[in-house]
Amino acid sequence: MYTSQPPTSSIRRSPAISATRESTVNIPGKNRVWVHGFRSNLRSQTRRVRGSTIRAVVSKEESKSSTVTVEDTTAIDGVGGMMDLKATITIKKQMKEKVIEKIEDQWESFVIGIGRGVLIQLISEKIDPVTKSGKYAESSPRGWLPSASSHPHVLEFTSNIAVPANFGRPGAVLVTNLLRREFYLVDIVIHGVNQDPVIFPAKTWIHSQQSNPDSRIIFKNQAYLPSQTPPGLKDLRREDLRSIRGNGKGERKPHDRIYDYATYNDLGRPDKSPDLARPVLGVPETPYPRRCRTGRPPTKSDPNSESRIEKPHPVYVPRDETFEEIKQNTFSAGKLKALLHNLLPSIAAKLSDTDISFECFSEIDKLYNDGVFLKEAEHNQFLVNFTNQVMNVGKRFLKYDTPAIMRRDRFAWLRDDEFARQTLAGVNPVNIELLKEFPILSKLDASTYGPVESALAKEVIAEELHGMSVEEAIREKRLFIIDYHDMLLPFIEKMNELPGRKAYASRTILFYNRANVLRPIAIELSLPPTPSSSSSSNKRVFRPGHDATAHWLWNLAKAHVCSNDAGIHQLVNHWLRTHACMEPYIIATHRQLSSMHPVFKLLHPHMRYTLEINALARQSLINGGGIIEACFSPGKFAMELSSAAYKSSWRFDLEALPADLIRRGMAVEDPTTPHGVKLVIEDYPYASDGLLIWSAIKELVESIVYHYYPGSDSITSDVELQTWWSEIINMGHHDKRNESWWPKLDTKESLIGVLTTIIWIASGQHAAINFGQYPFGGYVPNRPTLMRKLIPEEGPEYDHFLMNPQFTFLSSLPTQLQATKVMAVQDTLSTHSPDEEYLGQVHHLSNHWLHDGEVWGFFERFGAKMEEIEGIINSRNKDVRLKNRNGAGIPPYELLLPTSGPGVTGRGVPNSVSI
């Protein structure tokens, strides 16, 4: 910050412009203004232009003015009068400020007011015939005094600026922050150009010049394809993208706005312990999508691994990707809740020197009904005092909300029909597939993993089909499978060597009977073969119980399937397919598409917060020793499993909802429907509601694409677009760059398909598999995230099971500590922030599209479509014929209802992967 002298460092005056000679300072009386000499770095020679005067008027009420004379320079064609423009700059303040920050904020407002805080430069769409760059007018006027705003945390500064009448329409603003602190720029509005205001939407942090001397480039709210860019803005468009890409070197600083790629090489901590070393993901052996580069130095133990940043220090993401304050407060509250749910039970577990199991189901119920009580025993009296003093809740603490799955029927989780219903309407409804042929065969190497044929023989299945043959059931599309055998079996031996972990590779067969009810009819649980095992002894088959023993064994088998399902859901369908795979799309969009590009503007709302939440996940959830490893079956092999799934099954072209349903046999092509498919099971809530949202997204994307691209040649000739798609393939998904299934971006239809898929993944797909985590997983027996025991066979353990099957069941589930950790995390991840932006809420997009009324109409129709879809879903939830979303004790399917309030609601489709 400065008080009397202008800054001596170079201030950018136009794209890549810096000072080439001493700055000249003209101080007419009290009005101190300054102008630097300038040279374009985009060209080799210096261009000198004619002199002119640019006038900045303090206010309409004041008579004084400050004038800036640029000797022998001008950006004006010919001569003419002056034009008064009114500039309004909107800055958002921090919601919570310490006393010292309030003082500094008041001082900086004063500095801005006397013309020493912010420098803005207007860039015209017209080109200067001499410099071959856009005409520009710069000003650092006095009198930028804050005016009243309807929002308590927003400041608006206004000033009049006089420019030559033939300046042309402003197309960009360069903003230089001369203060010591960054500030959040909401927008800049220029009035007085013809009749309509020119809006420059920013919603960006403007770094201090002390951190980086470069000015920020803000374009007006009009979309241009690269070939349509006004001549005066072409250099700026290229320069802005260059600054965002960086040079791929050095460690990123918090104020940086640089997007680049790196492998997942920061998950382990080999310097702390060899047991915390983790393989790099994103190499041929363990392929993976790329993450945002941070550039931290390598670890001492492994030069291929990047050193980590641990809490409370933040992991770098580009500055504008960080949580806004209200989101940060919500997430911090969630972390505090997780702390209270985890820290105190951890201390209690240490004091008791054991991590105990639930001894009866009523102990689980108490988590919701009563909370957790600490006894008055001497060894934990300090904990009671702590909670009394700090939490002011007496002896009761850590009370959890009752999950939706048991709110209406606390015993629903025990029923087979509920187990099956959740494969269609639960938190992981994307793994059920149509069983197309018998016998069921593995694709794994038989020499390593045993015979390829499943133990689920035809006669076993036929006994559960109520007189229907297996061939008939397959022909009528009534047999379905959830097959985790090949994905898990290569990891089972390593997983079962971990302390407190026992798992199988599972296959589950489900039958859709003539009453249109889906039920599980057989489960196969497999272990890797051993030298002493026979070809079949490592495979066990379970069927629904017809006596007490079989009933309990069946429930244990279902629990193991649910544990597998929870791990695949979290590591593959949730983390990999939405979070990790979205990150390269976001990086490439910023690096290759100008903020003026219509595709950037379309995708921008669907990128919000994703890089930040992913960075936090690398720091605390998916890292070595993190919560996922501690609480899910794969343990330290969790991310290797995720990488194996990416290698074997991830394909961009099958991430589109209709394509995924067809691949799994859950739908067939039907060109007569709006979405082009017909469901095999009509009462499939995830698919039927998802297709409504998919179709609406596609309709919006079609409107945008046809509006901006008159023909296929305009797509192939769009340099930014083609480079964007090439970078997603070759850099973002480098390990899969040579796959033949990548769509070619050469027609309107291919572009529509790519954009619809990306938006669907960020919105509907993520919502469907994220916000049900606590409603379905908050009750541990319904979705245990790990199992600690294999199902007993003959011997003493089996005899104990016969004597007390409930004990065997509960002691196989996660411990109380593991369960409460998972519940706290699932509760946080299922929470909507108060500032969530939901699909179809078009007012959040107004600043981006306001200039184009036709495009604004597309979004209004999209918003109306979302309201219509919400009504359709609500009607479906009341339809008694739809048994998977209506019935005694059945919760309605609301995960794809577009809107929601804040908190854990089990509904709402945000625009982006924001949690």
The catalytic residues are 574, 579, 766, 770, 915
Query: By C-alpha distance, which of 338, 404, 424 is closest to 772?
Result: 404
| Distance from C-alpha of 180 to C-alpha of 255, rounded to nearest angstrom | 12
Q: Which pair of structure tokens corresponds to residue 659?
A: 């394509």
Q: Are 639 and 623 in contact (CB under 8 A)?
A: no
Distances in Å between the Cα of 61 and the Cα atoms of 90, 115, 143 are 21, 17, 11
Q: Are 181 and 104 in contact (CB under 8 A)?
A: yes
Using omega within 30 degrees of 0 as the cis cutoff, is the peptide bond preceding 312 cis? yes
| Distance from C-alpha of 14 to C-alpha of 180, rounded to nearest angstrom | 22
How many secondary structure helices (H) and strands (E) does the chain include? 29, 28
Cβ-proximal residues to 78 (8 Å cutoff; 6+ apart), any chain: 166
DSSP per residue, 108-177: HHHHHHTT-SEEEEEEEEEEPTTTSSEEEEEE--S---EE--SSTTEEEEEEEEEEETTS--EEEEEEEE
| Distance from C-alpha of 243 to C-alpha of 16, rounded to nearest angstrom | 10
Residues facing 163 on adjacent strands: 83
Amino acid at 807: F
Name the burial class of residue 61, with classes exposed (0-12), middle (13-18) and buried (19+) by CB atoms within 10 angstroms of its CB: exposed
| Distance from C-alpha of 784 to C-alpha of 818, rounded to nearest angstrom | 10
Identify the sign of the CA torsion 720, 725, 726, 732: positive
Q: Are 895 and 767 in contact (CB under 8 A)?
A: yes
669: phi then psi, degrees, rounded to nearest 5: -65, 140
User: Mutual orientation of helices 638-649 and 548-568 as an angle, nearest 10°?
Assistant: 80
Cβ-proximal residues to 298 (8 Å cutoff; 6+ apart), any chain: 304, 305, 306, 307
Using DSSP, state whether 30 is helix, strand or coil. coil
| Distance from C-alpha of 753 to C-alpha of 747, rounded to nearest angstrom | 10
Q: Which pair of structure tokens corresponds to residue 251?
A: 């460690």
End-to-end CA distance of the chain: 37
Cβ-proximal residues to 723 (8 Å cutoff; 6+ apart), any chain: 592
Using DSSP, state whether 65 is helix, strand or coil. strand
Query: By C-alpha distance, which of 789, 724, 279, 234 is closest to 563?
Result: 789
| Distance from C-alpha of 149 to C-alpha of 479, rounded to nearest angstrom | 62
| Distance from C-alpha of 39 to C-alpha of 45, rounded to nearest angstrom | 8
Residue 26 parent element (H or E): strand 24-26
| Distance from C-alpha of 232 to C-alpha of 131, rounded to nearest angstrom | 10
| Distance from C-alpha of 162 to C-alpha of 81, rounded to nearest angstrom | 10
The residue length of the chain stands at 915
| Distance from C-alpha of 481 to C-alpha of 509, rounded to nearest angstrom | 5
Using DSSP, state whether 241 is helix, strand or coil. helix
298: phi then psi, degrees, rounded to nearest 5: -70, 160
Q: What is the largest CA-CA distance in the chain?
A: 101
Residue linked to tokens 């994103």: 282
Q: Which pair of structure tokens corresponds to residue 675?
A: 């979405």
